[in-house]
Amino acid sequence: MEIKVLGPGCAKCKQTEQIVKEAVAESGAAATVEKVTDVMEIAGYGVFGTPAVIVDGDVKSVGKVPKKAEVAGWIK
Amino acid sequence: MRSNPSNTSLNWDNKPALTLNLFMGAAGVVVWWLVYQQLPGVSKWLTYSLLQISQGSHLGASIEFFLYDTPKVMMLLFLVVFGVGVIRSFFTPEKTRAFLSGKSEFAGNIFAALLGIVTPFCSCSAVPLFIGFVTAGVPLGVTFSFLIAAPMVNEIAVGLLYGLLGWKVAAIYMGTGLFIAIVAGWVIGRLKLENHIEDWVTQANIAAAEIEEEKLTWNDRFIYGWDAVKEIIGRVWIYVILGIAVGAGIHGFVPEGMMASIMGKGTWWSVPLSVVIGVPMYSNAAGIIPVVEALLGKGAALGSVLAFMMSVIALSLPEMVILRKVLKPRLIGVFVGVVACGILFVGYLFNTLL
């Protein structure tokens, strides 16, 4: 499972990355978490708000910090 | 965007029930009101009886102001952020983008400015949002109306102004902020500066990602509001305290009428000076309001103070740096120039009228 956290570096984006990493660790799922900060690349995903989370190519959340329980739902 | 056919309210575990939330909310409002009424009396008592500071002294005035304003502003912030959070749960950038796509210039500017106020917007989203709007066929000027209104007509600022200075000041701020956003965006649109967008943006062929649209229940919306309270107050409380401290200092130590000479009505240069002071300063909206309150109390003219406040909030260097990724320098210069002119105009207008 490949998870990407998109965000140019404000506090919310860092928070999102943290939450995603914790959710992955707690679920024990085999997943890589990658942070994408380059705005050109972010735009390339068709995402127009940050922070955003993409799981295996599916955009799961845009423009807000997801709850850990939400993230857990995406990765199980 | 497709909406999920089955009713998928956000299904987390341990979500408190709606009735419990409503009950606690109602009780909370009553408690809030009672505490709010007690604030002036308690702050006086604390300053003059408990701390034994002499009445009429500068220090006394400052401390009383600080002790009164801090809980007052915090309580107002709480209420405003919650209420606005609930309103915002109805709006998403995706819906705004879809709505504005292809709208004609003038109507588009007006809608964009109005939506800029209510659509949740984090300033780090400025670039992705800009790209999203432009690639969706939203005209450049309309996009700018949104980008100007969003930070400037900050709902927290409006709410605090209402609570601290009355509905007239709040309405004036909101009205003039909208006016500047609409006109500035329209002017930028007229200048036909589309070729000053960085090339990679116009060359990119980007389709929006499909996202499932969440259906939110009312309970979800209350939780959204509560989360907004925790997040925003957690972020700004230190700026608010600093702002109140500055305001308290002004209130206690700056002589009456001194502000009238710097930011007053008599001098023609007071408005541009206020803008010049404001531009390099960066504060979030919540922190600057107590300073505004104190300045007005010391005789500064409303127009100059409005100009100062708007310059601090709307023209921020960090945002310009971020926008440099998608805009060529000339367009950024035009953006800053047009907004600054709008702010100057508003400042002069109010100094002359009031």
Identify the active-site residue in A8, A9, A10, A22: A10
Average the pLDDT over B203-222 and give the result.
71
Residue B208: pLDDT band with limits 50, 70, 90: low
Q: How far apart are CA B235 and CA B126, in angstroms?
A: 19
The CA radius of gyration of chain A, in Å to the nearest whole number, is: 11
Neighbour count for residue B109 (Cβ, 10 Å):
30
A13 among known catalytic residues: yes
Contact A59 B131 (CB under 8 A): no
ipTM tops the 0.85 cut: no
- Candidate from A15-29, B34-48, B59-73, B246-260 with smallest mean pLDDT: B246-260
Residue pLDDT, tens place only, B281-292: 766 777 788 888
What does the domain layout of chain B look like in residue ranges?
16-88+217-235, 92-203+254-354
Residue pLDDT, tens place only, A5-63: 888 777 778 888 888 888 888 888 888 889 888 877 887 787 777 788 888 888 888 87
Q: Write the CA distances from B310 to B39, B232, B305, integer angstroms.
A: 29, 20, 9
B174 CA to centre of own chain: 9
B343 CA to centre of own chain: 15
Is this structure's pTM higher than 0.80? no
Residue pLDDT, tens place only, B264-280: 776 778 888 888 887 77
Average the pLDDT over B120-146 and give the result.
82
| Under 8 Å between Cβ of A2 and A56 | yes
* Residue for token pair 């709850």: A67
Number of domains present in the structure of chain A: 1
Which tops the pLDDT comparison, B284 or B62? B62
Domain CATH code at residue A23? 3.40.30.10
Does pLDDT of B4 surpass 60?
no
Identity of the residue numbered B215: K
Report yes or no: B206 at the A interface, CB cutoff 8 Å.
yes
Contact B132 A44 (CB under 8 A): no
Which tops the pLDDT comparison, B327 or B260? B327
Domain of residue A39 covers 2-75
Report the pLDDT value the prediction gives residue B297, as an integer from 0 to 100: 81
Identity of the residue numbered B178: L
Residue pLDDT, tens place only, B294-303: 888 888 888 8
Residues of B in contact with A10 (CB under 8 A): 122-124
